[in-house]
Amino acid sequence: MLGPAWPWPAFAAGAIVRYPFGMPRADRVSLTAANLAVPPVDHLSNKGTLNVLLDRTMSGLPPDRTMVGLFMNFSRLTDKALREYDAARAELLLYVSPPDEILRTSPYLRAIDHMENCVSAAHRAVLNARALQASKIGRAGPRLTPRQEERLAHLRNAIEHSDEKLQGKQFGKSPPFGKPDPYSLRLANTCMVIGPNVVTYKELVSAMTKCHKTIEVIRGVPTGTPGSAFPN
């Protein structure tokens, strides 16, 4: 049973909130309608797996059955990452610009849920792409830079292993959370943060775009921009 509601002050949407501590470098705290920069991914189809299923009956898939399975999983994870990102972006836009101008926390919490799923799926898709390219499949596709891959992996690990970190345990080279660190993903205007790990939305979109293009390279045909005939 829930206790009495905590008497939080009511903030109007767009109100300026003063923080009792100094702003972190590059402002990893603020989240406002005026400065939110979450790039859309409307130009990337999130139904690539359906194309791959069609390819199974025609052409365009690797000849090895193991590689077919890996490619299917890669396509599925890329689609999932794109869908979850779209959902997170929609919730963030709703949070910073509510239609009734009353600030609510539910869209923000849902945005965190979707963004966590997106980061996990994108990281797994990148690993699948690397495995395919190591097997000489899709080698002409774009790859993440070592720095991009490292930052995405560290963010994913911090999310997935936050329970150990909360208990003061170190996961690999990632130290436990400090007392001022957030215990879950925090979404700001241009980036997401958990502990010392930061990934910008542009970096995440870049990773998903490279996965999407790698799928097109393997299939040998462009997917095309989603539209009224083939919507996301």
β-bridge partners, 191: 200
Q: Indicate whether 204 pLDDT > 70.
A: yes
pTM above 0.85, yes or no: no
Averaged over 46-60, what is the pLDDT?
Answer: 70
Residue with the larger pLDDT of the pair 59 and 41: 41
User: What tokens does 1 get?
Assistant: 């049973």
Q: Indicate whether 179 pLDDT > 80.
A: no
Residues of the chain with pLDDT > 70, as a percent, come to 72
Return the exposure string of 186-214: e unless at least 16 CB atoms fall within 10 Å of the residue's CB, then b: bbbbbbbbbbebbbbbebbbbbbbbbbbb
- Rounded CA-CA distance 77/122 in Å is 7
Return the exposure string of 159-170: e unless at least 16 CB atoms fall within 10 Å of the residue's CB, then b: beebeebeeeee
Burial (0-12, 13-18, 19+ Cβ within 10 Å), 125: buried
Do residues 29 and 39 touch, judged by C-beta distance below 8 A? Answer: no
Averaged over 92-112, what is the pLDDT?
Answer: 88
Q: Indicate whether 9 pLDDT > 70.
A: no
69 to each of 131, 187, 200, how far by Cα in Å?
A: 12, 34, 31
Residue with the larger pLDDT of the pair 24 and 187: 187
User: What tokens does 44 get?
Assistant: 């990337």
The mean pLDDT value of the chain amounts to 80
Burial (0-12, 13-18, 19+ Cβ within 10 Å), 137: buried
